[in-house]
Amino acid sequence: MNPIQARTLEKVAREFPDAILEVEEFRGQVTIRVRKERIREVCRFLRDDPELEYKLLSDLCGVDYWGMGLKPRFGVIYNLYSLKTYQRIFLEVRVEEGEGVPSVTSVFATANFHEREVYDLFGIPFEGHPDLRRILLPEDWEGHPLRKDYPLGYEPPEFSFSFRTFREPGVGQEEG
């Protein structure tokens, strides 16, 4: 763990002593597992702290730990980056099936589409999200395809939406 990562962990632990569940370092990357109820506050603190300034949520993704013996089953990982210190820190919250995670869209605007993607593909709801609906799949799609218990058999999906009705002629093509 480098000095800036250690300082980040120290400041978060001091500010939120009850929020940190676990800290993991792997190949120079630090992940802080946080209680889901505190994720919004921790993100806001890391963004607003003048020494750290983790102002960029570069990614937010879901993980399905099914079959690995880990509880809770699902994880949501937040990839924060500081343009001031050039450091990256990961935050993780874990939830069981059907549990929600507080949305961080009020802290990072970029979380909007990331949270919708995790909801769409894993089925993890984000509480307080301003527009939580599917983003990649049609609204009538059944299930969440990145879950490890999603059926592997292939059946051609039936879509309620056709892109053909919106197709326009391309460059050099004639209508008709």
Residue range 159-174: average pLDDT? 57
Tell me which residue of 168, 161, 155 sits closest to 137, measured CA to CA: 161
Q: Tokens 């050039």 belong to which residue?
A: 86
pLDDT for residue 47: 98
CA 126 to chain centre: 10
Mean pLDDT of the 157-175 span: 57
Query: Has residue 175 got a pLDDT over 80?
Result: no
Residue 139 pLDDT greater than 90, yes or no: no
Strand residue runs (E) in the chain: 20-26, 29-34, 56-64, 74-82, 87-95, 101-102, 126-127
Place of tokens 């609906």: 133
How far is 100 from 94, CA to CA, in rounded Å? 10
User: If we measure between CA atoms, which residue out of 120, 72, 115 comes closest to residue 93?
Assistant: 72
Q: What is the DSSP letter of 79?
A: E
What dotted CATH number matches 3-166? Answer: 3.30.460.80
| Average pLDDT estimate for 78-97 | 96
Rounded mean pLDDT of 140-158?
81
Does the pLDDT value for residue 147 go beyond 80? yes
> One-letter amino acid identity for 30?
V
Q: Is 83:92 a contact under the CB 8 Å cutoff?
A: no
- Examine the pLDDT at 143 and tell me if it is beyond 80: yes
41-55, 86-100, 103-117, 138-152: segment of lowest average pLDDT: 138-152
pLDDT of residue 23: 95
CA 70 to chain centroid:
19
Task: Provide the sign of the torsion angle of the four alpha carbons 27, 30, 34, 38, taken in this order.
Answer: negative
Mean pLDDT of 45-69: 95
On average, the pLDDT of the chain sits at 90
pLDDT digits (tens, 9 = 90+) for 89-135: 999 999 999 999 999 999 999 999 999 999 999 999 999 999 999 99
Listing DSSP states for 133-171 in one string gives S-SSS-TT--S-TTSTTS--S--PPPPS--GGGG----T
Task: Reply yes or no on whether the pLDDT at 32 is more than 70.
Answer: yes
